[in-house]
Amino acid sequence: MEELAWRRPSACGDGNNCPEVAIGPDAVYVRTSLRPDAVAQLDVSEWRDLVSAIRAGEFDA
């Protein structure tokens, strides 16, 4: 995998349990800072669906 520029939400600060996202030329990559070697690869459509579901509260407990 190419070298990716990982970003995390500013609300995480220096925390070690944060979601991280990297945007590649053809995919979006998602991981948790607790397991940086476990990376999910999403195409643009899957990424949009995920963000829409999060915004709609579909994962709220």
**Domain coverage including residue 24:** 10-55
Q: Has residue 38 got a pLDDT over 90?
A: yes
Task: Output the DSSP codes for 21-37.
Answer: EEE-SS-EEEEETTEEE
Question: Measured between alpha carbons, how far is 18 from 34 in angstroms, rounded to an integer?
Answer: 7
Higher pLDDT, 1 or 8: 8
List residues bridging with 31 in a β-sheet: 20
Is 61 contained in some domain? no
Tell me if 40 is assigned to some domain.
yes
Whether 45 is in a domain gets the answer yes
Mean pLDDT over each residue of the chain, to the nearest integer: 92
| Any domain includes 5 | no
pLDDT on residue 14: 77
Within a domain: 19: yes
Q: Does 41 map to a domain?
A: yes
Assigned domain for 47 exists:
yes
Domain count, the chain: 1
Q: Quick check: is 33 in a domain?
A: yes
